[in-house]
Amino acid sequence: MESFRYAFNGIRILFKNTPNALLELIVAGIAILLGFLLKITGIEWIEICVLIGLVFGLEAVNTAIETLSDFTCKNEFHPDIKKVKDLTAGAVLIAAIVSVVVGIIIFLPKIINLF
């Protein structure tokens, strides 16, 4: 039970300290709302849920690596640490872009069919 408490605290820290996570939460909420309104299929729900989890998971890993890197380097610039931080930020961006593309593939035809 204690490990769950730590994990939920990690999620709280993510949303409290990471502005991008709040933006991603808003976008995820919009995707979920659209899913209900447009009656997406079960497979489409799975795709949306997996991508939401992937983006949040990568954002948490990115935040953890940035925090540890800053602590280790005492907030001093180090080119190798910059590479690591840029790579993890890039991983989040890739997942976010893929999520947007999948969202367009799922939702755009349904929105067009409304008109």
Q: Exactly one of 2, 44, 47, 59 is catalytic; name it.
A: 59
Separation of alpha carbons 69 and 81, rounded Å: 6
Separation of alpha carbons 72 and 81, rounded Å: 9
- Residue for token digits 């590479």? 83
| pLDDT tens string 9-22 | 999 999 999 999 99
Domain that holds residue 89: 2-113
Separation of alpha carbons 100 and 93, rounded Å: 11
**What sign has the CA pseudo-torsion 65, 68, 72, 74?**
positive
Question: How many residues does the structure list for the chain?
Answer: 115
Q: Please give the model's pTM, rounded to 2 decimal places.
A: 0.90
Q: Reply yes or no on whether 44 is catalytic.
A: no
Find out whether 53 and 28 touch, Cβ atoms under 8 Å. Answer: no
| pLDDT tens string 102-111 | 999 999 999 9
User: Which residues touch 91 (CB under 8 Å, ≥6 apart)?
Assistant: 58, 61, 62
Lowest mean pLDDT among 15-19, 27-31, 73-77, 79-83: 73-77
Count of structural domains, the chain: 1
CATH number, residue 33 = 1.10.287.3610
